[in-house]
Structure 1
Amino acid sequence: MLYFFLSYARGDDDVFVEEFYRDLSREVRVRAGLDRGQEVGFVDMHSIELGAAWSERLVSALSTCRSFIALCGPRYFTSEACGREWHVFASRAERYERDTGQPSSALLPILWLPPRRMPEVASALQYDSDVLGEAYRKTGLRQLLRLQRNREAYIDFVDALADRIVETADTHELPQPEELPQFDEIPNAFRSVPGGRRALPTPPSSPERGPDRGDTLSVQFVVAAGSTDEMRSIRASLDYHGARPVDWAPYQPTMSQPLGEYAVAVATRRSFAAAVADLAELGPSAEVASQENRILVLLVDPWATRVDQARLALLKYDQQDREPRTPASAVMIPASHDDSETQLHWRELSDSLRAIFASRVARADDVMFRTSILTHQAFESDLQVVLEVAVNRLFVEGRVHRRPSGDTAGGWPQLQSP
């Protein structure tokens, strides 16, 4: 029997999460009367690439575990993987409640680090107990682990949580999902919530958002590439270019679809409102992204650095981006391994790109400045990482357009300790 699944957003706190997982597993084994080597929990310490298939062990754990422990904090509610893990288990719990007519207490949100904002699906689940005092309520479990003075409170917390997990396992047997869909098909439980509220900032208006889009986040792709006519005097192979810059398809023959269209499709599958434009729209797109909390992704053909007009536009953008006008902007530069001419001249092209994007290079932000993307599969994986990081940054640094009305002195909802 798998007693619990530990869901958390990977990052700088991994070492503390590992310690908590070991301590909790030990106490669950003691209370369940199991041998020392018995596996009682699951935690994915090796993050899969976004968009990749979930491992068989993760799928099995999520489908069979008796409890779901969510370490809630700012990063957690902006993580696609965590939102989808939550959705899968919450669906099991809802089915259990429908079938038995009994409430389920198997989904346990734990306050890891107090978030500034919280989706309703989490704030509605109050995990109440008087075991812990103000230390947990004010600072969360993370601080109990980090500070020695909170050691006794931490031990009490782990004991109480282990009791709850074993009790739940003895009294709840949640149904397993009949069939788990592919990763990209699983909804993010935190993306939309009842009542129209969200955990993430969204643009107040957007030309790309139709009446059915609601509060969907927007991403604008800008293609920096040359047309076939512009490329004739610059490179020998014209197979990757078309009549318009947005027709640029760098991953031919493996993928003939223009890169801008492909990027829009990837973003749309992840519930973003997406659009594509050419380099002439870069200035206006950057301004709108800054004002309306929109994500901006610049798709750059390395050969565009040899087109005068394109080079000047990219230089101007980088100079204006020294103090980023939008926290959620990225540059992605394909270099297909099937394009032998690009590979042959990559050193000179790379030097030109580094000179043009000097501000980006100086910031050493490898996540949002991705170069030499060799395949369309790698591009898709990289883009999904870029989108998640962009959402995280908007969550922390995005512009606030509307303040809540009335008296807000009551404070944020609090997740209580076990």
Structure 2
Amino acid sequence: MRELTKDDVIAAVKGGSVFASGGGGWVEHGLEIGNAAVALGRPKLVSADELPDDAIIITCTAIGAPAGTDWQMLGKDYVRAVQLLFEQYDGKIVGVMTPQNGMSSSINGWLPAAALGLVVVDATGDIRAHPTGKMGSLGLASRTDFETIQAVAGGKPELGSYIELTVKGTPARTSNILRTASDMAGGFIAAARHPLPAKYVKEHAALGGVSIAIDLGRAIIDAEPQGPEQVLKTICRKTGGRFVGKGKVVKKDVSYSGAFDIGTIEVEKGKKKLKLHVMNEYMAVEDQEGTRVSTFPDVITTFNLDTGLPVSVGHIEEGQRIGVFVIDKSLLPLSSSVKDPSVYPEVEKALGIELLKYALEDEPATVVSAHA
């Protein structure tokens, strides 16, 4: 157990931005919420192993897509979502975790933890960012025998779009309801969900996911005085990742639909071309012949080659010079979430491409016990 600091906020945002895979929130939002957390209280980061098996952990997150134009999500909304869940849960909640790393999502639960006296658990539902709540739900997505609680808060009161909502039911049904609420709130909303015993988290999460982001962020900070090229070399060395292509963005065809950013981005250098498939985050990369280069749950991130900084889908522009960076899934801690075959059809349908056969290649599918 250790106390999280302002330095950890910066490192978590920088490292989380690599694992953001083109999504995962915004740098400014991550710094704002993280700094508010360490100013408000003394949030503590604990490993899952430090908690007794029956300690209850909830997931704090944000639901939506950056292209939504009328959303508003304040620090108090993250806290309010947790309070709403508290009101519907009979037991004692001890800690919070995040479903993914990202530009802001690595620190999703830090503010509620500081405000409500909870610990931040060093575990993630997925080491990288992903588009659907099901992909970060620790293998619960297909469970029809498990009743969960999910709560959301957010929106602009002045537009009449502020929503507070608490739902109970199966993880799949309630997740779909909250996606609709996010769209109605303007495109993004704060959420708290899935009260689960620590024993379950220990068995199904990507353990150490937050520390991995913080450690990478510290390495980036140390390399920054030496310039962008050294930063990119450091990221490759630290993660084992590689650049599968560098070139100019020649086409961006991404649009907002139902709280998702969906489409493709094409990068070209000479006769070589890469197509990136986007559903909030980068989900797959193909070459000019249509051969699959990389697929979720690989980390797929775009970097601005002039600055050495990750660049999100929302900030990609045609004519921009970028590098496409990949960390193979074999180098990552994988949770039950991404080994669950049921989380893929929805995304495959939206993108019109196959994911499952690539994603679970060499990985056994996870069958989750009926007892959470």
| Same fold, TM-score > 0.5, yes or no | no
Higher share in helix: 1
Structure possessing the higher radius of gyration over alpha carbons: 1
Where relative contact order (Cα < 8 A, 6+ residues apart) is larger, the structure is 2
Q: TM-score, normalised by structure 2?
A: 0.32
Higher share in strand: 2
Q: TM-score, normalised by structure 1?
A: 0.29
